[in-house]
Structure 1
Amino acid sequence: MNTAGALYISSAVVLLVAASIKFAALRKNAGDTLLRAVSASLFVAALLFATAAPPMLALINKWIGIPNIAAPIVYGILTAFDGTAIVLLIHWRGDEDANKLRRATRLCLAVYGVAIVAIAVLFALGDAHVERLRDLDTYYASTPYIREMILLYLAAHTVAAVTMGILCWRWSRKVPGALRVGLLFIASGNALTFAYDFLKYVAIVARWTGHNLDWLSTNVAFTLASFSAFLVAAGFLIPPIGQGANSRWRSFQRYQLLQPLWLEIRSEIPSTSPEPMQWWEPIDLRLMQRERDINDAVLRLCPFFDGTVGAEVYQQAIAQGHAPERAQSEADAAVIARAVIAKGDPAAAPLTPKGRWTVSSADSTDLLVSLSKALARSPLVRSSRTSELVATAP
């Protein structure tokens, strides 16, 4: 297989991987029309590059037994990809009116469907009996019907590339992070696609005027198409991969930030609870287990939550100018620290419900993180814990 064929097959593999990832997500969200459009676009693009590789063109011609029959097949697949790409943009942009979305989708698919049929009819009407695997566009640039077929597929391709490139560029300026990077990759890929079309047009017009610039079509444009595919596939892969990595990193940070609180109340985690997961387990599951262990321990410590301690620390924090949310976290942290000490004292007795402090910082992960930070860093919590140790010393 030559270099050009390897590039096209590599592009097909990359696009197929991207499509597989999207199909896996589609199984969990079968009703997501945007995800369906993305999956269809990537699959059709993979099919396009798999069939457009020169070795595959020769095999298709041989299998069917008609010279250049691979041309209308590849052009039809390319036009189908253009249609699915525009449908993708329609759903990506979105509209509050579902009926309007459906009408726009049907219109686009109808127009590109007619174009696919027209490509097949024009090929059947034309005469392309000499097999051309690399330079069919320029070799038959002046052949009746075949010429119109070539211009039709290029026009459909250009409209899709320009539309997709412009809209992705505009949207990239309104969104942050991995989604913005992905949109820029897609926009860049479509810019190369437009350059591919432009070079094809130049080479065809050169043929019409008696010149020969076939190398622009057979070499430069051919190579641009494969790089375009890599950029577009990467553009679709970056957002889910980037968002997934970002989500796991946030979970890891929260897991680490909860460690001071977990260590403080570890002795109160029920013995029936599973052992902490190993470091190679998914971080989301490890975070969930740590939160569950903390909540179980907080429930066991609840009878020893001293309302006097909580109120005192809260008032001190407010007097020092702390925000109410921070003051609540510090008060809860002090109450928990004192409860651990009290629970370990055989002489200590549970408090009556009326005298207990309500720990509200265990209601969410963010509040638990704030509570853990206060437990590790707050001077008021350290002071409260020290005074209790002094008070209970022999």
Structure 2
Amino acid sequence: MNGPDYYIPAVGLGCALAFKLPSLLRARHDPLLRSVCALLANASAVFFFAAPPTIEQVNRVTGITNVSAPLVYCLLSAFSASCLVLIVNWRGGPAEVTRRVSRRWIVGYTAVIVAITVLFLLGDTPTERLRDLDTYYARTPYVREMIVLYLAALTVAGVAMTVLCLRWSLRVSGWLRTGLVVIVIGYVFNLAYLATKFTAVFARWAGGDLDGLSTNAAPVLASVGALISAVGFCLPLVGRRLTDQWGTWATYRRLGPLWRELRSVSPYGVRPVRMSWWTSAELLVTRREADIHDGLLSLHPYFDARVRADAYKAAVTGGGGPVGARAVADAVMVTAAVRARGADPEGAALQVAGASAPNIPSGEEPRDLVGMSLALSRSPVVAAARAAAAAPSGSGTHEPTR
């Protein structure tokens, strides 16, 4: 792997961190948000400082041969701790327990980072190795222990993450479960990376040479594992957002029949307020609901309790439940009121003192409006009422409730 193979993921993770920073500034005491930002920062730093060009440059700037090795090992240990802390906070539970477990992981990996630094300082690495330091110095005193320590620390984190995510995935569903399974897949690659590293080091101890596993295969496995795990962490958040957006657009579409039914009595008539193409789905739904409320308000003097009661009975007789029957009854009453309003161009009903109407859903819950709208387009009771109103034998209209 070359420099761009490391720098591209580093930049991508850095952009994700920059996207999260404003939220962190607004809620700096949120442990979950802090954990997410710490993970993104550590992951980006690992990719950046593990790139061979960066390794060479850091060694040159500091003047310490192979100082990049403990730096990368410490960053990997910090990344492992941040993953564990994130999972602990993400899973939730009693706040005190969450803080205590998180603190233990942080303290443990802080001790590992200190030990890695001390062992490097005690060891001797006179020859610069940009890609194969693990195997080249596998038998060097203190450096050998440093290598085994960081690999063992990563293994503990990898096994713990895999077990935690698998157990949690059995208790949840939906996008969260999918994300946890993806994280486990990513950590399978990470464990394979560690297996290749250990195999190459053990081969050196035994006098063999399997350096290719550590130099060529391991970096690819680590990169793939890190990227898959990152997708797993992001998937529940992105998936939930996409699901919410899909539901909002579905609500917007389902409100269409009722909105079109009321356009003729809307205060804006046939020229509703236009929205920009970039308007959010949430605002479009709000605008459509507002238009519907305005239309219902203008029809209020024309609502007929008898029409609604007859439609409710017909819907119940047809096998509908109470909620669905109410939606059908309201839809039939609305269509009758629209016709009555059209037959009253002078607005005579508006002048009738004490005009009142039955108690209908106010529409404050979107589901009430959606139910009425779906009834307008799907209910046979509504279709029959419209057909009866259009029949030559009767006008199909009722007098407004007095």
- Contact 1:276–1:289, Cα closer than 8 Å, also in 2: no
Deviates more, 1:25-34 or 1:299-308: 25-34
- Contact 1:5–1:54, Cα closer than 8 Å, also in 2: yes
Displacement of 1:295 in angstroms is 1.3
Structure 2 match to 1:206: 203
Give the 5 Å matches for 1:72-83: 72-83=70-81
1:317 equivalent to 2:312? Answer: no
Q: Report the number of matched residues.
A: 390
1:391 to 392, 395, 398: 395
- Contact 2:300–2:356, Cα closer than 8 Å, also in 1: no
Structure 2 match to 1:70: 68
Structure 1 match to 2:298: 300
Deviates more, 1:133-142 or 1:84-93: 84-93
- Contact 2:304–2:358, Cα closer than 8 Å, also in 1: yes
The residue identity in structure 2 corresponding to 1:233 is A
SS of alignment partner, residue 107 of structure 1:
helix
Give the 5 Å matches for 1:85-100: 85-96=83-94, 98-100=95-97
Structure 1 match to 2:118: 121
Distance 1:329 1:392 in 2: 20
Distance 2:142 2:100 in 1: 32
Distance 2:175 2:105 in 1: 29
Distance 1:364 1:90 in 2: 36
- Contact 2:301–2:355, Cα closer than 8 Å, also in 1: no
Give the 5 Å matches for 1:1-394: 3-27=1-25, 29-96=27-94, 98-271=95-268, 275-344=273-342, 345-346=344-345, 348-350=348-350, 356-360=357-361, 362-388=363-389, 390-391=394-395
Displacement of 1:240 in angstroms is 2.1
Distance 1:20 1:177 in 2: 28
Displacement of 1:139 in angstroms is 0.9
Unaligned runs of 5+ in 2: 398-402
> TM-score normalised to the size of structure 2?
0.90
Displacement of 1:354 in angstroms is 7.5
Q: Deviations over 1:36-69 (max 9, x none)?
A: 2122112211111110011110000011111001
SS of alignment partner, residue 275 of structure 2:
coil
- Contact 1:295–1:362, Cα closer than 8 Å, also in 2: yes
CA 1:34–1:158: 2 relative to 1, 3 Å: same
The residue identity in structure 2 corresponding to 1:189 is G
CA 1:353–1:379: 2 relative to 1, 3 Å: farther
The residue identity in structure 1 corresponding to 2:306 is T
SS of alignment partner, residue 349 of structure 2:
coil
- Contact 2:85–2:105, Cα closer than 8 Å, also in 1: yes
The residue identity in structure 1 corresponding to 2:63 is G
Displacement of 1:110 in angstroms is 1.3
The residue identity in structure 2 corresponding to 1:391 is S
Deviates more, 1:188-197 or 1:342-351: 342-351
Displacement of 1:385 in angstroms is 3.6
Distance 1:306 1:148 in 2: 86
Deviates more, 1:109-118 or 1:174-183: 174-183
Over the matched positions of the two proteins, sequence identity in percent amounts to: 44
Distance 2:147 2:109 in 1: 15
Distance 1:26 1:183 in 2: 24
- Contact 1:172–1:183, Cα closer than 8 Å, also in 2: yes
- Contact 1:61–1:69, Cα closer than 8 Å, also in 2: yes
Distance 2:207 2:2 in 1: 28
